[in-house]
Amino acid sequence: MAEPADPLPQSSERLAAERPQRVLLGIGLALAAIGLFVVMDTIGKQLMTRYPMQQVAWARYFFQFALMLLLILVPRYGLRRLVRTGQPWLQILRGLLLAGSTIAMLTAISRIPLAEAYTIGFTSPLLVTLFAIPLLGEPVGWRRLAAVLTGFVGVLIVIRPGMAEVHWAMLMPLVMAVCFALYQVLTRKLGSQPGESSVAMLFHVAWVGSLIVSLIAPFYWQPVALADWPWLVAMGALGTLGHLLLIRALAMAPASVLTGFIYTQLLWAILFGYLIFGDLPDRWTLLGGSVIIASGLFTFYRESARRRGAA
């Protein structure tokens, strides 16, 4: 829900009084967004028992793009604000990376449990730390590098190479993590430039992804039962709403505060995986996930401490 407009300038006392409430509301919006993303993936996993992954990916992007087009009718946005950007090629690259991330994740969850896919995918925030060194020129100390290496030890615990037969789909969350980490780094780079709005960045991601999967999906298309169309539309709606809630959450609370709540995805994944698919993570997944989550939280703690020191 949007906040009411305040025609009067806010005093420092009022901002200080409202900040805790805003942060709490931001955390609530972030948790809701994370829950919506897991519901979207759960629907996708269920649909992929009847339809090809490429067709499900098409629904996820096409209906998100269609819903984003409705913003043209909103006076506050309009077509001009949706498409305005000073870095069109960077926007396209972001869209390609996110589309690759989505396809890799859908491929993974079509063959392995949600909890395992999310656990391995949690390496994405750690990869952001590595990619930020050459792409953003950010300094990274030995503590954060050690945390990144520890996180990948957690991945090895989950996958257990040599101890059990490794399904090739276990590698797809790593592909997702690489694509999504690069997407996040480019988003950070683009977001720091003047004139680039978050809504326009979301719109460009939607049309690029929709174009890519629309070129692929016809080769795998299967007739859709009438009862399944609402679920296909729901994937696009949940993705759109989740992203908008996350954007709003970041406007209310610092990213360093919200980052730790990303890992609640695992709780949602375990719950839905058990209730809908009868899957429960084994002890290796839980152990490796704990290592990865601890590494990620330490990395963000060091990042926030570094930023406070710089400030």
Tell me the average pLDDT across 75-94.
85
For residue 60, the SS3 value is: helix
Q: If you ran DSSP here, which 8-state letter would residue 72 be given?
A: G
Tell me the average pLDDT across 227-232.
95
Tokens 């988003």, located at residue: 187
Token pair belonging to 226: 């009438």
Indicate the pLDDT class of residue 256, thresholds 50, 70 and 90: low
Look at residue 215 in the predicted model and tell me its pLDDT: 95
Higher pLDDT, 161 or 268: 268
Domain boundaries, the chain: 23-221+232-310
| Residue 81 pLDDT exceeds 90 | no
Q: If you ran DSSP here, which 8-state letter would residue 52 be given?
A: -
Tokens 């793009």, located at residue: 65
Indicate the pLDDT class of residue 2, thresholds 50, 70 and 90: very low
Look at residue 143 in the predicted model and tell me its pLDDT: 80
Tell me the average pLDDT across 199-213.
90
| Residue 311 pLDDT exceeds 70 | no
C-beta separation of 241 from 285 below 8 A: no
* Chain mean position to CA 60: 14
* Chain mean position to CA 166: 25
Q: At a CB cut-off of 8 Å and minimum separation 6, what does 169 contact?
A: 107, 108, 110, 111, 112
Q: What is the 3-state secondary structure (H, E, C) of 137-195?
A: CCCCCHHHHHHHHHHHHHHHHHHCECCECCCHHHHHHHHHHHHHHHHHHHHHHHHCCCC
Token pair belonging to 46: 């269920």
| Residue 22 pLDDT exceeds 90 | no
- Maximum average pLDDT range among 91-95, 188-192, 283-287: 91-95
